[in-house]
Structure 1
Amino acid sequence: MTRVARAGTAAVRTAVAVLAAGLVVTSAGCSPADRDRPLVAVTTNILGDVVSEVVGDAADVAVLMPAGADPHSFEVSAREAARLRSADLVVENGLGLEEGVARHVEAATADGVPVFTAGDAIDVLDWRTEDDSGPDPHFWTDPRRMAEVVSALDDALDEVGIDAPGADGYRAQLDALDGEVATAFATVPADRRALVTNHHVFGYLADRYGFRIVGAVIPSGTTLASPSAADLRDLATVIEDAGVPTIFADLSQPARLAEVLADEAGIQVTITPLATESLTATGPASSYLGMTSSNAEAIVDGLSTHE
């Protein structure tokens, strides 16, 4: 049985109850002169986990985004912003994801801090609706694209004199993860490979594994947008026509909108929470590899077992 098959969705749901708060730092340190090791500051906790695996003990890793937070809206304190500007390298997702901290990354760039933008390393897809579109920042839902990010990160670390002893091994784990997820998704019948989420988050997953994006409760690539009544009615019609049994809502956002859709439109769907945009403090979704595995198992369950 694969790691995907072993991961439990109940554990993912439980993990959201325990959220980390504040700045996550692998070791203390103030000014560059005081540090024994270089500092890599990372905007999101998903990339923070990946960076930590890649650099190992070669650098300190400061992760700005706490577990369970929304990457579109989280903000940082003045102290955290100052730490960002004193780093040897800043790692950001880019593609418009970190809307609450973008200005701080720009300030670090203006101060001469090297910035690695993960979105620059991949073939970017667009999220699209009938009325709008934009670059999709959620590339991590495809492990192969994350492997491309790791390769580019390896080069960026080398440019600033930081070793990446875990890069090769982590890329191997990503390759294995991709194979396991593909095997798990192969069990979902073709006519059930339709996804509805609280906002457009699974474009890369759909592109890699052959799913259809039916729609999103929030018709946007960001959680900061809001659906109109017409949006909800249109989505309800699409859900009924496609026979979608489950709406997948991110753990960092309440499932209220999806529940309103089900209640007001009178459609019977299951609301399944997934850790899609943030790691959890504990449980299988507390690492990028575990999050991807457990989400795959939850999607298989949500689309395959409901009649």
Structure 2
Amino acid sequence: MRSIRSLSLALAAAVGLGALSGCAAPAGDRPLIVVTTNILGDVVGNIVGDQAEVLTLMRPNSDPHSFEISAQEAARILRADLVVSNGLGLEEGLQQQLDAADTAGVAMLAAGTVIDPLPYASGTGSDTADPHFWTDPARMVEVVEAVTAAVRTDVAGVDAALIEAQAAAYTTELQALDAEMTTAFATIGSERRNLVTNHHVFGYLADRFDFTVVGAVIPGGSTLAAPSASDLQSLVDAIDTAGVATIFAESSQPDRLVQVLADEAGLDVAVVELFTESLSEPGAGADSYLTMMRTNTERITTGLSP
């Protein structure tokens, strides 16, 4: 088995983060709502339907911590009727443009400000709020309520009654998703409810559905960090102690990070891909928020079952 220092270097070499910007059809005469992440873009699209153009900046399979946008898209942010962002420090590569829009007086909604945020798990080295709230569908109900109110207030020319009806229908779907996840996860024994992934993204899911976050390959809450030798040794020890049988790789990052940990640290674990921070291309298993969460639920349940 290679040394932890060698493992750390192999993991650092495996990190490769691509960032591509998103595009949208011409707005015509409709109002414009700009959304940063594709997860929130899907949610907003379900609420507003064809009442407004929804420009989602983040392309499928991108990393929300590091994606960037074009100059044309940055200009459109300044002309938007409403900008919806995740907030809580998630969009690290986009904060300058968001601040510029706020300064220019564009109506802004940071979804992270309307939910009850959780701190990162102990041992992450971060004392900030965890921005990955979408892993809990109950909190997404609160986001839907806030987006609906913001559209009614800040986006002129929309049919308020239709917006309310579409939001209510989508809320019903979120509540059904929450019930499905509760039923599925109930089949996993308490001794096997241990989660390990690329970085700390499961805090809200763990809180909602009674899992334990054992650790992550990348420390803290950002994919832009890098694991040290001591981080990796601590994680290997925690995995051994908890008897983890499966660790999860995120679709927005290369699974080499987790695979190297499994292979080179001599851990007898399976590696399963989840869609945790980005939607996929159509038909790839996570082309909507609801589909993404159902796919993840099935994979987590299967991966952690005997």
Which position in structure 2 is the counterpart of 1:271? 271
- Give the structure 1 partner of residue 44 of structure 2: 51
Which residue is equivalent to 1:151? 145
Q: Which runs of 5+ in 2 are unaligned?
A: 1-17
Counterpart for residue 247 of structure 1: 247
SS at match of 1:91: strand
Q: Which residue of 1 aligns with 2:180?
A: 180
Match of 1:36 among 22, 26, 29: 29
After superposition, where does 1:103-252 map in structure 2 within 5 Å?
103-130=96-123, 131-160=125-154, 161=156, 162=158, 163=160, 164=163, 165-252=165-252
**C-alpha contact (below 8 Å) 2:121/2:213 kept by paired residues:** no
Alignment check: 8 A CA contact 1:233 1:265 kept = no
Q: Deviations over 1:174-210 (max 9, x none)?
A: 0011000110000011100000011000000000000
Q: Secondary structure at the match of 2:215?
A: strand
Identity rate, percent: 55
SS at match of 2:279: coil
Q: Alpha-carbon deviation of 1:249?
A: 1.1
Q: 8 Å contact 1:45–1:279 — kept in the other structure?
A: yes
Contact 2:135 2:293 in 1 (8 A): yes
Deviation readout 1:205-243 (Å, 9 max, x if unpaired):
000000000001111111011010111111001001100
Q: Residue 92 of structure 2 aligns with which residue?
A: 99
1:290 to 2:296 alignment: no
Q: For 1:221, give the aligned amino acid.
A: G
For residues 250 and 109 of structure 2, the distance between their equivalents in structure 1, rounded to whole angstroms, comes to 26
Q: TM-score, normalised by structure 1?
A: 0.89
Q: How does 1:73-88 map to 2 (within 5 A)?
A: 73-88=66-81
Rounded to whole Å, the distance in 2 between the matches of 1:256 and 1:50 is 30
Amino acid at match of 2:55: A
| Alpha carbons 2:195, 2:215 under 8 Å: kept | yes
The more displaced of 107-116 and 129-138 is: 129-138
Aligned-residue RMSD, C-alpha: 1.5
Report if aligned partners of 1:129, 1:220 keep a CA contact under 8 Å in 2.
no
| 1:263 to partner: Cα distance | 2.5
Q: How many aligned residue pairs are there? A: 281
Q: Distance in 1 between matches of 2:75 and 2:143?
A: 26
Question: For 1:271, what is the secondary structure of its paired residue?
Answer: strand
Matches of 2:278 and 2:135, distance apart in 1: 12
State the AA in 2 paired with 1:277.
E
Cα distance, 1:133 vs. partner? 2.9
d(CA) in 2 for partners of 1:155, 1:217: 39
Aligned mates of 1:272, 1:57 — CA distance in 2: 37
Shift of 1:21: 5.9
Distance 1:90 1:46 in 2: 14
Task: Give the Cα separation in 2 of the matches to 1:289 and 1:210.
Answer: 20
Cα distance change of structure 1 residues 289 and 24 upon mapping to structure 2, 3 Å threshold: farther
* Change over 3 Å in CA distance of 1:249–1:61 after alignment to 2: same
In structure 1, what is the Cα distance between the partners aligned to 2:291 and 2:276? Answer: 11
Deviations 1:71-109, CA, capped at 9 Å, x for gaps: 000000111100111110000000000001111011111
Superposed displacement of residue 22, structure 1? 4.0
SS of residue paired to 2:267: coil
1:15 equivalent in structure 2: none
TM-score w.r.t. length of structure 2: 0.89
The reply on whether 1:65 has 2:58 as its aligned counterpart is yes
Q: Distance in 2 between matches of 1:128 and 1:275?
A: 20
Asked if 1 retains the 8 angstrom alpha-carbon contact of 2:20 and 2:69, the reply is: no
